[in-house]
Amino acid sequence: MDERMIAQQGTTKLFGNMNARAIKAELNDIQPLRDLYLQETNIQIRYNACHERGWTDYYLLMAGDLRVGYGSIKGQEIPGRDTVFEFFVIRPFRKMSSLLFRELLCASGARYIECQTNDLLLSPLLYEFAQNISANVVLFEDNAVTEHVIPGAAVRRRQDHDRAFNDRVFEHKVEPAGEHLLELEGEVLATGGFMLHYNRPFADLYMEVREDCRGRGLGSFLLQEVKKECYLAGRVPAARCNLSNAASRATLIKAGFRVCGFMLTGEVKTGAFE
């Protein structure tokens, strides 16, 4: 049910009975509401794949007999569903957000809240209902077109005939070996690519530079070229890195990204259910 349909029911029915509830649901039950959430936020959702992989519990948020929002619960560890990571209420009922969030916590038993600071509905609720809040990941969005050049270096997509690829590529310690290779003087000095298990139209870029070749601008040059391929594939590039990884952060910014948010995690306050 979209906002226009609800508005047609009249304000008396909408606000005459504000019984708030959170009831267990399935993905199909909340999908129309999640479509509204994705349209409104228009950001890369870091944990989008939890929905596709069945790692999520769902709750419909009810005002009387009306479906006015949803909440999604994942686990800090996959088997245990204990963390609120998505929360959405349609605009006519936003004044009930705190009440509905409390009902979600009660119904789900969630003990943690994890959110992106660029999620403008969930972020304030994190501070209202959680304590011991910390950040561990920086989120990036594309901001500028760069024109870096590394003399003699070329970026190309890995081809089927690269049969000796595994013998030529350096050992990767953080990221997987990517589909895009940066070659210089016949050597593979960096690889990268983009992952597509995020909400459309976003994709997540990654790269790794051979350890003895870092600090030469190779990572930024590679990301610049991978960004182009990402757009050509019909996706919007985004990225993230650990908060303590100053080198990756500098590389992303040099490649035309900018910080757009942080991942926050907090423990639900003891009195949040009262």
For the domain made up of 144-255, give the CATH fold. Answer: Aminopeptidase (3.40.630)
Predicted pLDDT of residue 186: 86
Predicted pLDDT of residue 195: 95
Exposure on the CB side of residue 100, measured as CA atoms within 13 A: 27
Domain ranges of the chain: 3-133+267-273, 144-255
Q: Please, what is the Cα angle at 48 between 45 and 53, to 5 degrees?
A: 170
Tell me the CATH architecture of domain 3-133+267-273. Answer: 3-Layer(aba) Sandwich (3.40)
Beta bridge partners of 80: none
User: Identical fold at 3-133+267-273 and 144-255?
Assistant: yes
Closest CA to 38 of 236, 198, 206, 263: 198
Start-to-end C-alpha separation, the chain: 31
Determine the Cα–Cα distance for residues 124 and 117; give it in Å rounded to an integer: 9
What pLDDT tens digit does each residue of the chain (274 aa) get?
Answer: 444 444 334 333 445 557 999 999 999 999 999 999 999 999 999 999 999 899 999 999 999 999 999 999 998 666 678 999 999 999 999 999 999 999 999 999 999 999 999 999 999 999 999 999 999 999 999 999 999 999 999 999 987 665 555 556 888 888 888 899 999 998 999 999 999 999 999 999 999 999 999 999 999 999 999 999 999 999 999 999 999 999 999 999 999 999 999 999 999 998 766 6
